[in-house]
Amino acid sequence: MAQETTFPTGPFYIQSKIALSNWALTTNELKLKLSPLKGGIEHLWQATPDSRGGSFLKNIHSGKFLTVTGIMSGLGVTSRFDPSDVMQLFRAEDLGGNWRAINLLCNWELKMNVYNSDRHGRIGPFEWNGGADNESWRLIPETSTVETVSVEFDLKGATTNLNLPPMVSSHSDLDNRAADAPMTGQISLALSETTSRSITNSTSDTTGRIYTQTFGAKGGIDKVFEVSASASFNESTSKTIAYTDATVDAKTVTHSQLVNTNVPVGKKYRYSLMVFNGKCSIPYTAHMLFKSAVPGAVPHPFVSTGIYTGVNAIYSGVKVSDITQGPAAAVLVEEYPVSIIPGE
């Protein structure tokens, strides 16, 4: 009896030993077949271990699971994943060297076999034949990643929103209703300004989507775009936001601002620091490339599109309000700008 071993933890290829060729297992509709291994997504498999033993084997390109279509009859794939179906559970056996047998969990004698060693023929379970070439397989892990080649931003297609509600960073109330002279001086108010940026992305083709979902993507967006009060854009570089990130990259800068005060006799004034933000949404196109670890494999390029979203301060100002009759009846006295502290 061969010694049980494990399937690779990540995506892998299942290569046949017949004639020591590079033919590997893939799917055709609901059937299994062999074809020359070229390092493409169609040959990739994923193993999901089960607590009872063995693993469920899924073809990554089709999303279908390996299953027995009939003992001594054939193997195929199904889109119906059934964790209670023992005919969808398989295990690997060590045949020595790089070679493995793949058998039913419920019967180790029944191995995945290329009938009559015909690479164009039928594949199904067959009784153990001592490690013959047509029942021997090499499980080759795919260790490559998706790379970001370049990113292009469509500033002509960008949209801006300069009408976001203002944020009150800080305020202070000065009461001069009991005095007989104006109240003058300076107070310190805290001004906090936050910049944020995020990306949403979706690939433009199914194969590209499978690659990014399976392997993630190396690289991402390393540009910062900020909108001004005139709706123009400023661009700079920053740390990269990866395509797999689901959170918003935000940064807050807090600054103490000295404010001159002058409250007339009999009045109560509120001094506030206000921050007005602008938002930009910019479409981008990322050119991606998957390079398989399989020797001689042709790199697979594809395109990922998405939206870059950034929020930044466009105006900060001091607001002076007369609240002698209470905050609900406040009357604007004056408003003037103060310097914006960059958030990046």
Query: Does 344 map to a domain?
Result: no
**Does 199 fall in a domain?**
yes
137 and 15 co-located in one domain: yes
Quote the domain boundaries for residue 51. 3-141
List pLDDT tens digits, range 182-193. 999 999 999 888
Q: Is residue 240 situated within a structural domain?
A: yes
In whole angstroms, give the CA distance from residue 99 to residue 300. 28
Cα–Cα dist 171/184, whole Å: 17
Specify the CATH number for the domain of residue 185. 2.170.15
In the chain, % of residues over pLDDT 70: 96
Task: Reply yes or no on whether the pLDDT at 22 is more than 60.
Answer: yes
Residue 23: partners with Cβ closer than 8 Å, 6 or more residues away: 15, 16, 34, 35, 36, 37, 119
Q: pLDDT tens across 298-312, in order?
A: 999 999 999 999 999
What's the pLDDT at 341? 52
Checking if the pLDDT of 343 tops 60, the result is: no
Residues 314 and 244 in one domain: yes
Shared-domain flag, residues 154 and 280: yes
CB distance 151 to 221 below 8 Å: yes
Q: Is the sign of the CA dihedral 126, 130, 131, 133 positive or negative?
A: negative
Same-domain pairing of 168 and 264: yes
For the cut 60, the answer to whether the pLDDT of residue 342 exceeds it is: no
- pLDDT, tens digit, for every residue of 79-124? 788 888 888 999 999 999 999 999 999 888 899 999 999 999 999 9
pLDDT at 25 (0 to 100): 96
Domain identity same for 165 and 47: no
129 shares its domain with 150: no
Q: Which residues contact 19 (CB under 8 A, 6 or more apart)?
A: 119, 133
- What pLDDT is stored for residue 89 in this prediction? 94
Write down the mean pLDDT value for the chain.
90
